[in-house]
Chain A
Amino acid sequence: MNQLKIQNLSKTYPNGMKAITGLSLHIGQGMFGLLGPNGAGKSTLMKIIAGLEQADTGSIVLNDVNILNEPSFIKKQLGYLPQDFGVYPHLSAYQLMHHLAVLKGIKKEGRKEHILDLLARVNLYEFRDKEVHNFSGGMRQRFGIAQAMLGSPQIIIVDEPTAGLDPQVRNRFNNLLSEIGEQMIVILSTHLVEDVRSLCAQMAIINNGSLMVNGAPNDFLKSLEGRIWAKTIDKNELRYFNENFHTLSAQLHGGRLDVHIYATKSPGNGFEQIKPDLEDVYFTHLSQIV
């Protein structure tokens, strides 16, 4: 069983911006969701784990090896799909996969079959001879996951993988992640709460470079049962509700606002108790109500 232990990790950029502050986290086999708003430090954390950035203090131990001291250890068993990546022009999907497969140290015997298999798994087999440079966003993202799976890695890091994908591609992508997540550590960094709910058995929320909460989504949902209330209001009433209640979210629905609030007992005022969802968990912890 693979284990990734992050202890007291800190990172400050040369311009003085604190990206990570004293973060500690245990990640076991399976899919792990990392939630947080934009700029929370998710990508920095991913880059540090992938050996692309240096941490100032702390340790990251993968199966008893501190990868901050030995980044090549994780690189040998890592699949990484960054938030944004480019490709060489004039290289076909197969050629580019081949290049990355060589860099990952995959032996010649079986390399071709492995690449074609992965391309097939992400439905790019028939485009294997087309230039990746000309792929649409969804295809490029699927290429990204295919390359991340090269060499059967023990740990896969995917950073905002479904950003910009249409719902169908996103579903297909999530299925693929869920399938590979059964056999290795998959760290899914996202700000899409839906993806974490549908895929991850464990999750953490980080904000301003610090860990807010860490655990199983179901436990979080249970802890909020009976405390989330909803009501549909006019847009101009929002200020009143913000001032008088712990407003978690306000989403437009048919031109009116669906407001969710946190309250340990009935707030009255026409609010109805609802079953909490992970988004409520997310906003509850971000607004530090609990």
Chain B
Amino acid sequence: MFIDYFLLEVSFYFPKKWFLALLCCFFAFGYWVSVIASFSFAGVYANSPFVLTYTIGLVSLLNIFTIVIFSSQIFLREIDARFSSLLYTTLVNKNIFQLSRFVLVFLITALTFLFFILGLMFGHASQGDEHEKFMPFRMLNYLQPYILLVLPNIFFCTATVSAIAWTSRSKMLVFLSGVFIYILYFAVSLFSNSPLFANASPVSSETMSRMAIVDPFGLAAFFEQCQSWSPALKNSTLLQLKGNFLINRIGLLVFSSALTLLAIRRARFHCTTKKNIKPPLQKAGNQPILPRGQISISEKGWLYDWHTLYSFLKIDLRALLKGLPFVVVIALWLFFLGMEIYSNIDAGMRLPQRYASTGLMVRNIINSFPLFLLSVLSFYGMETVWRSRSTRIYVLEDSTPVQVTVVMLAKWISLCCIALLLITISILQCMVLQLIFQYPKIEWNLYLSLFYILGVPSLLDASVIISIQTIVGLKYPALLLTVLFFALTNSFIGTMLGIEHPLFRFAKSPLNYSGDMNGFGAYLHAFGFKMIYWTSFSALIAIGTTLTRQKARSFSVNLKSHSKLKVFAVLMVAVLLISGHFIYQRTQVGNSAAEIDWMQHYEQKYRHYQHIPQPTIVSVKTEIDLYPTSNEYIISGLYKLVNKSAAPLDSLLLYTDPAMELAHVNIDRAVQKATDSTYGHHRFKLTSPFMPGDSITMEFTIKYKWTPFNRHDPMNAILANGSFMRISRYYPIFGYQQ
């Protein structure tokens, strides 16, 4: 019986093309992690048991999302398809049926992660000739963490999510269960100073042991076991199933099994009984019938659009605010944010407590808000767009002259309301925390700036979510596409895949809040331009979606509104190109691989100068003009150069940091022969030999200006207020740079 149920469920996924494509994506993800992710542990190979356990354990945290998406589809399938009343009246065995679905979610997640590991193996195998980085391939190094860490973790997450799905039968709560597991995990890790976090303080062995037992993902137990391992041991020893790790794994399996059994027993397998209202018997025709012709006036134009927009908005907001899930969303967010702020104020055992200033609050909100909001918006975006369809009222709504644009706009505004509401609630919580921690200096402007800094990206996120849901036209594939879009354009995964340029990082712009001294500084300027760029991008996507949807629904597009949209689209294309060009001109993107390439080429090109004598700077006179408001400074200087070597010099190799602009240089008796701006070198030929002990002078002007489109160099930070520059590091010098 189990096999029959199981195979029935399996037929929804095998051999569907989209599922095979998903497996390929996981394989590709594994491959990219193997190529790009570099967890540097001195003396430890990238495919050693230690690094593989670390990598696999860390990436396996993402399984929660796979489980949540498939659970919401599999466990609530009959409710989605309105098949409940038929299913529940069959002789299907509830326990075995639910178990078959549970096993399916478990196996799908295990399979997708297996493809990740296969990708990882393939990636490592393809780089195997790099003997400095890789040790000989050992299958067990990959399989052991998969069996000991990944599979039990998938079991735990599936048990938790399925328990919530069966008992609540609410899709939102299923989604939130995933977020909740994450939050709980990070909370426990933060409070316990888990080594998972780079800035964790050292902890006592008791705490570490306690954490090793309770950490549901087993990573704390892994860190505890190998904390004293030497690089040689890390290269050779597999994680041992003993001690706290063994207790942890057994405890996890027992807990997950018990939770699953309990949840299966408590799972509801019947339709919710709804008390129907029945009318009393009435005599036919006992109601007065008003004379006809009283209502025939209809609204037109913008007034009609405004009223329909308002009506849809009211329905969406009512559904949102009346539902329990939104209360849970708010509660979870407040809990998470509060915890983050508390741990930030606490600052760990080595540092004194921080002041609960508005700046600290704002920094915490900015760090945590975007990811949380994206998960909430992705879910509510799906619910909002599909509300008319899932309630089957669309046949009535679609037979009215309501504009597709207006419906989409209403959905977008309702998502924006969620974002703005969450920002407001966060601010209120932070104000309360400031009062509790006795730092009642509330900076209203700083708090209000969050509506710009977090609000604008949220509105753009909402727009793209609505567009994807509308244009794909299938609920779950659209959700997967949304997750993929944001994973590539907003998360570290995209960065790992090389999607680093701001023109590909959707509605993202780094903002460093530097406290009372400098605030957000010049970064706000770059933020503004990027938001203009992404607004035009989102608008173009929305226009495309509207036209497609309009065509699908009305079969012929209203030419008047069509031409208006066209004009708007042209305008947006112009804004996109101009702002994109502006950002592109000011952005430099470098990654570690490019930096290594740069260094290698530099060495190849200039190494031979290493032993060619260069003059010594014996006297320096400079005048430094600072322009903090425009983030620039100019240094004019006079060097006295002496040939301290034994041989006469006939040429000089001057070096200035490539970030600096050498505006002017004049060396006595020297003629500039070549400039290499890539490496900051300038070659000079002396008109007469520079004899040993002889001296000459050099005049120069160098300029420095950084743009907020790139991150500032902390050692060369010329800011409006609170600059810190180690200027001497950037003075011109001679010779090959080690």
Interface stretch of the complex, out of A12-20, A47-55, A217-225, A258-266: A47-55
Q: A85-B392, A110-B295 are in contact. Are A103 and B308 (CB under 8 A)?
A: yes
Is the beta-carbon distance between B287 and A136 smaller than 8 angstroms?
no
Is the beta-carbon distance between A139 and B296 smaller than 8 angstroms?
no
The residues in A between 86 and 114 inclusive whose CB is less than 8 angstroms from any CB of B are 86-91, 98-100, 102-108, 110, 114
Is the beta-carbon distance between A99 and B554 smaller than 8 angstroms?
no
Cβ-neighbour of B556 out of A71, A102, A138 (below 8 A):
A71
Q: Does B290 have its Cβ within 8 Å of any Cβ on chain A?
A: yes
Q: How far is the CA of A110 from the CA of B289 in the complex (A)?
A: 16
Q: Does A209 have its Cβ within 8 Å of any Cβ on chain B?
A: no
Q: Does A70 have its Cβ within 8 Å of any Cβ on chain B?
A: yes
A80 to chain B, nearest CB (A): 4
B282 to chain A, nearest CB (A): 5
Q: Does B315 have its Cβ within 8 Å of any Cβ on chain A?
A: yes
Cβ-neighbour of B322 out of A90, A114, A124, A130 (below 8 A):
A90
Is the beta-carbon distance between B398 and A52 smaller than 8 angstroms?
yes
Q: How far is the CA of A117 from the CA of B289 in the complex (A)?
A: 8
| B309: nearest chain-A partner, CB-CB | A102
Residues of B within 8 A of A151 (CB): 295-296, 298
Is the beta-carbon distance between B277 and A72 smaller than 8 angstroms?
no
Residues of B within 8 A of A89 (CB): 319, 391
Is the beta-carbon distance between B319 and A121 smaller than 8 angstroms?
no
By DSSP majority rule, is chain B's interface helix, strand, loop, or mixed? Answer: loop
| A73: nearest chain-B partner, CB-CB | B401
Q: Does A172 have its Cβ within 8 Å of any Cβ on chain B?
A: yes
The residues in B between 86 and 100 inclusive whose CB is less than 8 angstroms from any CB of A are none
| B279: nearest chain-A partner, CB-CB | A139
B155 to chain A, nearest CB (A): 35
Q: Does A175 have its Cβ within 8 Å of any Cβ on chain B?
A: yes
Task: Please encode chain B, from 512 to 537, with 1 for each CB lying within 8 Å of some chain A CB and 0 for all others.
Answer: 00000000000000000000000000
Q: How far is the CA of A130 from the CA of B276 in the complex (A)?
A: 10
Cβ-neighbour of B400 out of A103, A110, A168 (below 8 A):
A103
Q: Does A76 have its Cβ within 8 Å of any Cβ on chain B?
A: yes
Is the beta-carbon distance between A121 and B395 smaller than 8 angstroms?
no
Residues of A within 8 A of B393 (CB): 85-88
Is the beta-carbon distance between A91 and B315 smaller than 8 angstroms?
yes
Q: How many residues of chain A are within 8 Å of chain B by beta carbon?
A: 57
The residues in A between 11 and 52 inclusive whose CB is less than 8 angstroms from any CB of B are 50-52
| B556: nearest chain-A partner, CB-CB | A69
The residues in B between 378 and 400 inclusive whose CB is less than 8 angstroms from any CB of A are 387, 391-393, 395-400
Is the beta-carbon distance between B274 and A106 smaller than 8 angstroms?
no
Cβ-neighbour of B298 out of A69, A86, A104, A172 (below 8 A):
A104
Cβ-neighbour of B399 out of A50, A91, A127 (below 8 A):
A50
Cβ-neighbour of B295 out of A106, A130, A133, A136 (below 8 A):
A106
Q: Does B278 have its Cβ within 8 Å of any Cβ on chain A?
A: yes
Q: Does B292 have its Cβ within 8 Å of any Cβ on chain A?
A: yes
Q: How far is the CA of A147 from the CA of B393 in the complex (A)?
A: 12
Task: Please encode chain A, from 126 to 162, with 1 for each CB lying within 8 Å of some chain B CB and 0 for all others.
Answer: 0100100111101100000001000110000000000
Q: Does B304 have its Cβ within 8 Å of any Cβ on chain A?
A: yes
Is the beta-carbon distance between B391 and A86 smaller than 8 angstroms?
yes
Q: Does B242 have its Cβ within 8 Å of any Cβ on chain A?
A: no
Task: Please encode chain B, from 483 to 499, with 1 for each CB lying within 8 Å of some chain A CB and 0 for all others.
Answer: 00000000000000000
Q: Does A78 have its Cβ within 8 Å of any Cβ on chain B?
A: yes
Is the beta-carbon distance between A135 and B276 smaller than 8 angstroms?
yes
Is the beta-carbon distance between A135 and B277 smaller than 8 angstroms?
yes
| B400: nearest chain-A partner, CB-CB | A103
Residues of B within 8 A of A69 (CB): 556
Cβ-neighbour of B391 out of A68, A88, A117, A179 (below 8 A):
A88
B387 to chain A, nearest CB (A): 7
Q: Does B285 have its Cβ within 8 Å of any Cβ on chain A?
A: yes
Q: How far is the CA of A288 from the CA of B91 in the complex (A)?
A: 44
Q: A54-B555, A120-B288, A125-B287 are in contact. Are A134 and B294 (CB under 8 A)?
A: no
| B552: nearest chain-A partner, CB-CB | A54
A55 to chain B, nearest CB (A): 9
Q: A71-B554, A104-B298, A106-B295 are in contact. Are A82 and B396 (CB under 8 A)?
A: yes
Q: Does A75 have its Cβ within 8 Å of any Cβ on chain B?
A: yes
| A77: nearest chain-B partner, CB-CB | B298
Q: How many residues of chain B are within 8 Å of chain A by beta carbon?
A: 51
Q: Does B297 have its Cβ within 8 Å of any Cβ on chain A?
A: yes
Q: A54-B555, A69-B556, A76-B401 are in contact. Are A82 and B298 (CB under 8 A)?
A: no
Max chain A CB contacts within 10 Å: which of B287, B296, B387, B401? B401
Q: Does A237 have its Cβ within 8 Å of any Cβ on chain B?
A: no
Q: Does A198 have its Cβ within 8 Å of any Cβ on chain B?
A: no
Cβ-neighbour of B304 out of A75, A84, A105, A124 (below 8 A):
A105
Q: How far is the CA of A105 from the CA of B305 in the complex (A)?
A: 9
The residues in A between 216 and 275 inclusive whose CB is less than 8 angstroms from any CB of B are none
Q: Does B275 have its Cβ within 8 Å of any Cβ on chain A?
A: yes
Q: A76-B298, A183-B292 are in contact. Are A100 and B555 (CB under 8 A)?
A: no
Residues of B within 8 A of A80 (CB): 395-396, 399
Q: How far is the CA of A75 from the CA of B398 in the complex (A)?
A: 9
Q: How far is the CA of A124 from the CA of B295 in the complex (A)?
A: 19
Q: Does A123 have its Cβ within 8 Å of any Cβ on chain B?
A: yes
Q: Does B318 have its Cβ within 8 Å of any Cβ on chain A?
A: yes
Residues of B within 8 A of A123 (CB): 279, 282, 286-287
Task: Please encode chain B, from 324 to 357, with 1 for each CB lying within 8 Å of some chain A CB and 0 for all others.
Answer: 0000000000000000000000000000000000
Q: How far is the CA of A51 from the CA of B310 in the complex (A)?
A: 24
Q: A78-B399, A80-B395 are in contact. Are A127 and B279 (CB under 8 A)?
A: yes
B283 to chain A, nearest CB (A): 9
Is the beta-carbon distance between B400 and A100 smaller than 8 angstroms?
yes
Task: Please encode chain B, from 384 to 423, with 1 for each CB lying within 8 Å of some chain A CB and 0 for all others.
Answer: 0001000111011111111000000000000000000000
Q: How far is the CA of A168 from the CA of B398 in the complex (A)?
A: 31
Is the beta-carbon distance between A68 and B555 smaller than 8 angstroms?
yes
Q: Does A2 have its Cβ within 8 Å of any Cβ on chain B?
A: no
Q: Does A57 have its Cβ within 8 Å of any Cβ on chain B?
A: no
| A69: nearest chain-B partner, CB-CB | B556
Is the beta-carbon distance between A85 and B395 smaller than 8 angstroms?
yes
Residues of B within 8 A of A147 (CB): 396
Task: Please encode chain B, from 306 to 321, with 1 for each CB lying within 8 Å of some chain A CB and 0 for all others.
Answer: 0110111011001100
Is the beta-carbon distance between B296 and A127 smaller than 8 angstroms?
no
Residues of A within 8 A of B288 (CB): 120
Cβ-neighbour of A105 out of B292, B299, B387 (below 8 A):
B299
| B292: nearest chain-A partner, CB-CB | A183
Residues of A within 8 A of B594 (CB): none
Is the beta-carbon distance between A75 and B401 smaller than 8 angstroms?
yes
Residues of A within 8 A of B292 (CB): 152, 183
Is the beta-carbon distance between B275 and A134 smaller than 8 angstroms?
yes
Q: How far is the CA of A233 from the CA of B98 in the complex (A)?
A: 52
Q: A76-B298, A103-B397 are in contact. Are A121 and B275 (CB under 8 A)?
A: no
Is the beta-carbon distance between B396 and A152 smaller than 8 angstroms?
no
Q: How far is the CA of A106 from the CA of B401 in the complex (A)?
A: 12
Is the beta-carbon distance between B289 and A104 smaller than 8 angstroms?
no
Q: Does A171 have its Cβ within 8 Å of any Cβ on chain B?
A: yes
Residues of B within 8 A of A175 (CB): 284-285
Is the beta-carbon distance between A102 and B307 smaller than 8 angstroms?
yes
| B396: nearest chain-A partner, CB-CB | A85
Q: Does B293 have its Cβ within 8 Å of any Cβ on chain A?
A: yes
Q: How far is the CA of A103 from the CA of B403 in the complex (A)?
A: 9
Q: Does B563 have its Cβ within 8 Å of any Cβ on chain A?
A: no
Q: Does B300 have its Cβ within 8 Å of any Cβ on chain A?
A: yes
Q: Does B645 have its Cβ within 8 Å of any Cβ on chain A?
A: no
Q: What are 21 A-to-B residue pairs whose CB atoms are below 8 Å?
A: A68-B555, A75-B401, A80-B399, A84-B395, A87-B393, A88-B315, A91-B315, A99-B314, A100-B396, A105-B401, A106-B297, A110-B294, A123-B279, A123-B286, A134-B274, A139-B279, A151-B298, A152-B294, A152-B296, A168-B281, A171-B284
The 4 A-B pairs with the shortest beta carbon distances in the complex, nearest first, are A86-B392, A105-B298, A103-B400, A80-B399
Known contacts A71-B556, A106-B295; 13 further A-B pairs (Cβ under 8 A): A76-B401, A89-B319, A99-B311, A102-B308, A102-B310, A103-B401, A104-B298, A121-B289, A127-B279, A136-B277, A175-B284, A179-B289, A183-B292
